[in-house]
Structure 1
Amino acid sequence: MNANDRTPADLLRSALASDPGRPLVTFYDDATGERVELSVATFANWVAKTANLLQGDLSAEPGDRAVLLLPAHWQTAVWLLACSSVGVVADVGGDPASADLVVSGPDTLDAARACSGERVALALRPLGGRFPQTPDGFADYAVEVPGQGDQFAPYAPVDPDEPALVVGGEELTGSEVVERARADAARLGVEAGSRVLSGQSYEAWEGLSHGLYGALAVGGSVVLCRHLERLGEEGLEKRVVEERVSVTVR
């Protein structure tokens, strides 16, 4: 990866330039049997479309705060990188009442209604499916994002020294996210080509680092597992082999 990368969005751009076809995020939901694999190029396309939705339709600006009421999921990873692309602060599990906009999964819609700004709902259904009926007061992400542009350019440059992420009550700048992610990857022995399997929640920094940022920072990839506890030890061992996992965290 480029040593000059200073935001998560920079890391994604470097990954796209170096090897767009390699896997970046492989997602499992062990409650439903869902498996989704996204290459760097496919993931970056989702990020570009989501960033265009943020900046265009939702009128988000650098410094705005987006509360993400979402589990560890491939679409959550997309939103984290889209926020970084625009310069919006991604507040994971924060208070919607004080946010500029909120992005909610299907289980947190009531809490998300406390936000007086824009509200986006994710059904989190297989293949990025939409809600059977759009929740009242929300835009359905699966309806709004497909028509967005495949390329993204921010209206203003993103400052790596401005706040970019809030998780567990701690605020980090874009450059701090990158520095911590690189340090975590080195500590775990994650390097270019490594595959990191994570069953951790995105509610704490460790889950975000192990399940996204660390691998992205060094040219690795993640196998992100939701409801991993349902798989059992034998199933986990089989997945580690099948997915060529280098490091497992749970």
Structure 2
Amino acid sequence: MRQLTETLTDAVLDPILARDPAGPRITYYDDAAGARIELSALTLANWAAKTANMIRDEFGLSSGSRVAVLLPAHWQTAAVLLGCWWAGVEVVLHADPDAELALVTADRIAEAGDIPEVAALSLDPMGMPVRDLPIGVTDYASSVRVHGDQFHPGGVGCALDGESVSEVLDKARKSAARQGFTAGDRVLSSSSWQTPAEVIDGFVAVLVSGASLVQVANPDPAAEERRIGTERITARRQG
């Protein structure tokens, strides 16, 4: 039985890091921009650790704090979610007035409202910073790079929208079984991550099954057949 002190990130990443740290874990396409980025489990863990260290050391948050994540389905969002869960903070997917930090795209800064700390992501393929940010808004790309790529969790709170780590894991495992995901699968998806159910079904379920994710933004239907072959797709996100 897993201990209650284990974070959601430990639960989903540790088995993958032990089995296949260098294999592709998230492959991200943006067909509108012509971008393709691939991260191994180890690289994803390093980004998540940097994010967790930033949350704890730069923003002073700890287990039980709440973080609003206002981001699309993207490889950097994956790092943000895993970083939040490693830091033991609760992720909410809306501008909760009780949140202490909001992680947002530049066009959603205003949605953060009165949340005291805001960090903006450009989601640029080359990791470029957001230009002309308002005073008081942190640039994620510039800030996260200075933090360490190892993280030692210090506690566990709720994981996602009021649900515990065990509740999210249980839902993710059931979702993976329902969708037929198994270790070694390459899962093709263009689904959004705007609700807890979408995050669980389209992201956590893939990782907890041991599969890898091919996430496509602005999908070009003409590219799909070729992508299925080149990426060796074996499963699709259902629903």
- TM-score w.r.t. length of structure 2: 0.92
**Partners of 2:174 and 2:7 in 1: CA distance:** 15
Instruction: Show the 5 A alignment for 1:114-133.
Output: 114-133=113-132
**Partners of 2:8 and 2:148 in 1: CA distance:** 20
Instruction: Show the 5 A alignment for 1:82-231.
Output: 82-92=83-93, 94-112=94-112, 114-154=113-153, 156-158=154-156, 162-166=157-161, 171-228=162-219, 231=220
Structure 2 unaligned blocks of 5 or more: none
**Partners of 1:184 and 1:139 in 2: CA distance:** 35
The DSSP-based 3-state class of the residue aligned with 1:131 is coil
**Partners of 1:27 and 1:88 in 2: CA distance:** 26
Stretches of 4+ aligned residues off by more than 4 angstroms: none
Q: How far did residue 180 of structure 1 move?
A: 1.1
Q: Structure 2: which amino acid aligns with 1:79? A: V
Q: Structure 2: which amino acid aligns with 1:88? A: V
Identity between Structure 1 and Structure 2 (%): 39
**Partners of 1:164 and 1:48 in 2: CA distance:** 16
Equivalenced residues, count: 235
**Partners of 1:72 and 1:212 in 2: CA distance:** 9
1:79 equivalent in structure 2: 80
Instruction: Show the 5 A alignment for 1:46-57.
Output: 46-57=47-58
**Partners of 2:201 and 2:185 in 1: CA distance:** 12
Q: Any idea what the Cα deviations from partners look like across 1:48-95, whole Å, max 9, x if unmatched?
A: 111000010110111111001111111111111111101100101x12
**Partners of 1:119 and 1:32 in 2: CA distance:** 26
**Partners of 2:140 and 2:108 in 1: CA distance:** 15
> Is contact 1:99–1:115 with CA below 8 Å preserved after alignment?
no
Q: How far did residue 96 of structure 1 move?
A: 4.3
Root-mean-square deviation (CA, aligned residues, Å) is: 1.7
Cα gap change, 1:174 to 1:55, in 2 (>3 Å): same
**Partners of 1:207 and 1:33 in 2: CA distance:** 25
**Partners of 1:110 and 1:96 in 2: CA distance:** 13
The DSSP-based 3-state class of the residue aligned with 2:163 is strand
**Partners of 1:70 and 1:246 in 2: CA distance:** 27
Q: How far did residue 198 of structure 1 move?
A: 1.0
Structure 1 unaligned blocks of 5 or more: none
The DSSP-based 3-state class of the residue aligned with 1:84 is helix
Q: How far did residue 206 of structure 1 move?
A: 4.0
Cα gap change, 1:36 to 1:135, in 2 (>3 Å): farther
**Partners of 1:116 and 1:187 in 2: CA distance:** 37
**Partners of 1:111 and 1:134 in 2: CA distance:** 15
